[in-house]
Amino acid sequence: MTKPFTSVWAREPRRPRSSGLGRGQIVAAAVEMLDAEGLESLSMRKLGARLGAGATSLYWYVANKDELLELAMDEVWGLVEVPDPDRATWREVTTSTAYGLRVVLLEHPWLANLLGRMPMAGPHAFAMSDRLRRAFVRAGFTGVDVYLASGTLMGFVLGQVIPEIGIRQVSKDGRYDPATMVDVVERVAADYPEMRADFRQTVEMDPEAARAMAFDFALLCLLDGLAARLAAAGVPASSGQPADNGVRERR
């Protein structure tokens, strides 16, 4: 039997107790623990011990671990830099957001495991979503297409970064030797000599540089595709320019 969903954002935050332990301090410590130990290692008991307080002290601010994760998620969303759509073109806004989101997800990989499991309902998440919405409106998208375009951008970043998080985790754990993985691919791809040759060239590149290059290429293709959709709908190419406020588009 399902139970009603509750959210930490649906009620006013409680005032700090006389102990001085505040919600911001709790959230910061939770993010540090998640970054260091991962999602499965977080518990109210361990976090309380980290803060030198009992778990009951934490429950004054959050009803359960899920509410704590909601707060931690929104704290990290606040790290994504999204330019003001009134001072930048839609492509500048979306490009900066995509790169910023990639950096934040790689630095806080546990966040990717929560997407879809918990709503983006905090103030930082809404602020980021609103700036993207305004950027796509200024570009010339209308109606539901505004949100489809925004969702396409977010889906692209997640699709690019989640496998990268997995690769980094495998390398960090030392689970597999990369050299032996290459040898296995070489053997099982014996019937595809052209692909084997391409693969050899790829593995000789610096992995970080190769992943960054792939992200650059795909993001440009995505934004060019959105621009082409606007052009097909008859939206002028100049649409989405920032207001004349002394800030010029970067070239």
**CA pair distance 219, 213, nearest whole angstrom:** 10
CB 16 within 8 A of CB 22: yes
Compute the distance between CA of residue 221 and CA of residue 32 in angstroms, rounded to an integer: 35
Mean pLDDT of the chain: 87
From the CB of residue 192, how many other CB atoms can be counted at a distance below 10 Å?
11
- Structural domains for the chain: 14-75 (1.10.10.60), 90-175+206-232 (1.10.357.10)
| SS3 of residue 115 by DSSP | strand
H helices within 38-143, ranges in order?
Answer: 44-50, 55-58, 65-77, 90-107, 110-114, 123-139
Closest CA to 189 of 203, 176, 175, 172: 203
Examine the pLDDT at 82 and tell me if it is beyond 90: yes
Label residue 245 by pLDDT band (50, 70, 90). very low
Residue 118 is classified by DSSP as B
State pLDDT tens for residues 24-54: 999 999 999 999 999 999 999 999 999 888 7
Residue type, 47: L
Is the pLDDT confidence value at 108 over 80? yes
| Token pair recorded at residue 10 | 């649906």
From residue 116, alpha-carbon distances to 107, 205, 248 in Å are 19, 34, 37
Q: Is the dihedral of CA 14, 15, 21, 23 positive or negative?
A: positive
CA gap 177, 206 in Å, rounded: 16
Q: Is 160 within 8 Å of 102 (Cβ atoms)?
A: yes
Two tokens, residue 179: 């050299």
Question: What pLDDT is attached to residue 238?
Answer: 61
Contact (CB, 8 A) for 102 and 157: yes
pLDDT, tens digit, for every residue of 180-222?
777 888 888 888 888 888 887 777 778 888 889 999 999 999 9
